[in-house]
């Protein structure tokens, strides 16, 4: 089967659920992280009974990168190859994952699948793991924990996605700016996507998934409405949205500028005529109260109940 062949949810590889006592490695594939925030994440994971260990280069720095490409790739491959490590949790996003994904030892990933959690720039890593190993993952907060943005409900959501095999249901929230973005209907298909910038940056690369029959998840931060328009227009012109089953719209945080057209207006216009159900207002992304969702597994989007239900990423 080619990398771009359409895949059914049954082809998703679900790694084993994390259990108390399991070791999880904290890696920084993208931007440099802050030790004091990682310390909070370590405390949280330890409280769940997990054994978090830092990758050798987790605190490395090279400008806007968490160390040289070779170091970041080596940490990922160390995590994937170590049989003691049962989960891989990225510290944060930022930028840089795209620079190292071609160096991942996919044979090691396929040999011993492990749950990988992260979001933002980590969308590039999730796409690569989907292409190379059909690995389902978790789109959720990183280990550089910020209690102000990710309160108890965010922690509980990440715990459920990593350490239980229950489906994950996320309900649209009226307080979210994208709540009004809606096209009625119900759609089922694998949930793919994540950060809109990284989805667009994957166009033309081997990692861009075929979205035929899929529900596309999009969210972003600090992108003015005209840039969101530009990105969605590029996806449309590239044919990437042809055959979509539906669109799940997460948080578009700090995306306002001085124009009268807001980001919800742009999302409604650019997604509203695709002929598929669209559900906005989902607290998934960079905003307060961010929730976790599995990526790569079967999902059902229902605008009547204003919910996105996703099969677990773990088994």
* CA 162 – CA 117 distance, rounded (Å): 8
Q: Where are the alpha helices (DSSP H) in 137-211?
A: 152-163, 196-201
Q: Average model confidence (pLDDT) for the chain?
A: 96
Q: Considering 30, 120, 157, 202, which one is annotated as catalytic?
A: 120
Please list the residue range(s) of the chain that carry CATH number 3.50.30.60: 168-310
Alpha-carbon distance values, 21 to 49, 231, 289 (Å):
6, 43, 27
Which tens digit of pLDDT belongs to each residue from 80-123? Answer: 999 999 999 999 999 999 999 999 999 999 999 999 999 999 99
Please list the residue range(s) of the chain that carry CATH number 3.40.50.10740: 9-163
Task: Identify any residues that bridge with 299 across adjacent strands, giving them in sequence order.
Answer: 189, 310
Tokens 């890696």, residue? 27
How far is residue 264 CA from its own chain's centroid? Answer: 21
Helix (H, G, I), strand (E, B) or coil at 271: helix
Q: Considering 286, 292, 298, 311, which one is annotated as catalytic?
A: 286
Give me 114's structure tokens: 């492990």
Annotated active-site residue 219? The verdict is yes
Task: Identify any residues that bridge with 126 across adjacent strands, giving them in sequence order.
Answer: none
Annotated active-site residue 120? The verdict is yes
Which secondary structure element, helix H or strand E, spans residue 70, and what is its range? helix 69-81
Q: What is the chain's pLDDT, residue by residue, as a tens digit (315 residues)?
A: 333 334 444 589 999 999 999 999 999 999 999 999 999 999 999 999 999 999 999 999 999 999 999 999 999 999 999 999 999 999 999 999 999 999 999 999 999 999 999 999 999 999 999 999 999 999 999 999 999 999 999 999 999 999 999 999 999 999 999 999 999 999 999 999 999 999 999 999 999 999 999 999 999 999 999 999 999 999 999 999 999 999 999 999 999 998 999 999 999 999 999 999 999 999 999 999 999 999 999 999 999 999 999 999 999
CATH numeric code, 9-163: 3.40.50.10740
Q: Considering 176, 177, 219, 298, which one is annotated as catalytic?
A: 219
CATH numeric code, 168-310: 3.50.30.60
């Amino acid at each position: 089967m080619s990398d771009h062949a359409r895949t059914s949810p049954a082809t998703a590889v679900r790694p084993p659920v994390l259990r108390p006592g399991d070791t999880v490695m904290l890696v920084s594939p993208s931007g440099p992280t802050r030790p004091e925030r990682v310390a909070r994440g370590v405390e949280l994971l330890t409280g769940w009974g997990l054994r978090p260990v830092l990758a050798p280069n987790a605190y490395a720095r090279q400008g806007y990168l968490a160390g040289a490409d070779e170091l970041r790739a080596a940490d990922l491959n160390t995590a994937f190859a170590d049989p003691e490590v049962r989960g891989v949790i990225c510290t944060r996003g930022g930028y840089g994952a795209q620079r190292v994904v071609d160096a991942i030892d996919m044979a090691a990933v396929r040999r011993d699948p492990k749950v990988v959690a992260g979001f933002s720039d980590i969308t590039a890593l999730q796409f690569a793991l989907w292409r190379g190993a059909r690995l389902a993952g978790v789109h959720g907060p990183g280990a550089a924990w910020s209690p102000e943005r990710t309160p108890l409900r965010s922690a509980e959501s990440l715990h459920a996605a990593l350490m239980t095999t229950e489906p994950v249901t996320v309900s649209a929230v009226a307080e979210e700016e994208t709540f009004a973005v809606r096209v009625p209907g119900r759609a089922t298909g694998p949930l793919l996507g994540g950060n809109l910038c990284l989805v667009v940056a994957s166009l033309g690369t081997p990692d861009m998934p075929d979205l035929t029959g899929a529900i596309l998840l999009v969210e972003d931060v600090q992108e003015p409405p005209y840039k969101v328009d530009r990105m969605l227009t590029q996806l449309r012109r590239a044919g990437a949205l042809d055959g979509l089953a539906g669109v799940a719209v997460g948080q578009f945080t700090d995306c306002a500028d001085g124009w009268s057209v807001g980001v919800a207006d742009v999302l409604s216009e650019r997604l509203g005529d695709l002929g598929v159900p669209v559900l906005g207002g989902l607290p998934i992304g960079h905003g307060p109260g961010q929730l976790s969702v599995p990526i790569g597994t079967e999902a059902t989007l229902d605008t009547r109940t204003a919910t996105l239900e996703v099969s677990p990423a773990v088994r």
